[in-house]
Structure 1
Amino acid sequence: MIHYITLRVTAHATEDRDRVISALKFLLPDVIRNSSDIDEQINSMVVEGHYGNPMALYSLDFKRKAETSALMNRLVSELSKSQRDELFRQLDERLDDQLMLHLRFSKQEAYSGKLVTESSSDAIAVKIKIATYPKDRNKALEMLEDFFEQI
């Protein structure tokens, strides 16, 4: 069902980078978060913001089926019922023509140990590439709806 999942977060110059990385790792299921090499898997890059301020970008990529399945299950099952229902209603608008499902989670809430969806750009962005053969957006939506109904 899933080709890959990418998580990405920005740490602004005013933010504690360790806290931002901690928030990013909170989204991960225990089996991934507690792996001995998780810190080495985090890609980082320093970029310049709109006003010349330094920002750090952190990202994680997952392609193995066991990892993508565990991560997808965590991201959906740990949400409150109302947030799951809201995401279910928004699946059509969150799935683009390239079959990429776009989600955002609150950095602040994740750091506090809560998984909460977020609409602002200052969030942990999650992109989930849905696999269908041949590529078919309606089939991808149907697969996502089935997944949400089973949670």
Structure 2
Amino acid sequence: MHLQYELLVPLIVLVLQIGRQVAADLQGYETVEVAVRKPLFCYDCYEMEKNCQTLANLTAIKVTKCRDYERFCKVRRINNRKSQTVFERTCSPDCTPGCTTMLFRTRCVSCCTTDKCNSDNTAQRHYVTWHGTLTAALIVLMTTVM
């Protein structure tokens, strides 16, 4: 039993010395705060119904807590030649703003990053027409053939 105490005392002294050395080593370091991103909340609807289009009655529109990887609130507006407009408001992991027009349909997208900011009905005007797309495709084809 006496032998155990003889081993235990040097072990305790060693642990205390290591603890003092670690504390001295850490004294020069600053504390680092880790920023935690707060969740994003976006309007969430997909419909031709007036509420999703005009947002006249915001209390009727569902608000969704976005997933951690969804960093944007997005509005997608699709217009066709028959004057029908469909809106989609949702959370999104990625978002490319602008408009594209192909044949009889125009699709516009706008993006934002604050709570319930996807309440607009416009998007950045960046139109790509069907003949613009065809021209770009022909240029790519000609440069790869030559």
TM surpasses 0.5: no
Using structure 1 for the length normalisation, give the TM-score.
0.22
Higher helix residue share: 1
The higher-RCO structure (CA 8 Å, 6+ apart) is: 1
